[in-house]
Amino acid sequence: NAGVTQTPKFQVLKTGQSMTLQCAQDMNHEYMSWYRQDPGMGLRLIHYSVGAGITDQGEVPNGYNVSRSTTEDFPLRLLSAAPSQTSVYFCASRSPRGLSTDTQYFGPGTRLTVL
């Protein structure tokens, strides 16, 4: 199993550009989430999904879109990048509570800089 993969690892954007951060998992997990982590800060939830076709907003959704067309993939789209979106982005996946005693797995992260 590759686990949770994210691409790219690093990205530099100019203000106003758009891009998509990719996230994929091969563990057949229904739940997937996107977090951002700013220096010295904890994790803030951006969007999450409890299954294909179902997404919902987290704590800081503004400026981001998501979709979940398959169980495996959960891309995060930045619509018009702003310097405030400079951060490290983590994707995570897990099974629903009743189906697993396993943990939530995190991808390696994407380090995004917006100039």
Partner 1 sequence: ELKVEQNPLFLSMQEGKNYTIYCNYSTTSDRLYWYRQDPGKSLESLFVLLSNGAVKQEGRLMASLDTKARLSTLHITAAVHDLSATYFCAVDFGDTPLVFGKGTRLSVIA
Report the interface residues with partner 1, using CB under 8 A. 31, 33, 40-43, 45, 48, 50, 58, 90, 94, 96-97, 101-109
Q: Which lies closer to partner 1 via its Cβ, residue 16 or residue 96?
A: 96
List phi, psi (to 5°) of 72. Answer: -75, -35
Query: Nearest distance from residue 110's CB to partner 1, in Å?
Result: 11
Minimum separation from the CB atom of position 100 to partner 1 (A)? 10
Instruction: Tell me whether residue 78 is exposed, middle or buried, using C-beta atoms within 10 angstroms of its C-beta: 0 to 12, 13 to 18, 19 or more.
Output: buried
CA dist list (Å): 77 to 16, 19, 26, 61, 85: 13, 6, 21, 11, 12
Q: Please say which residue, 65 or 104, places its beta carbon nearer to partner 1.
A: 104
Of residues 3 and 83, the one with the C-beta less far from partner 1 = 3
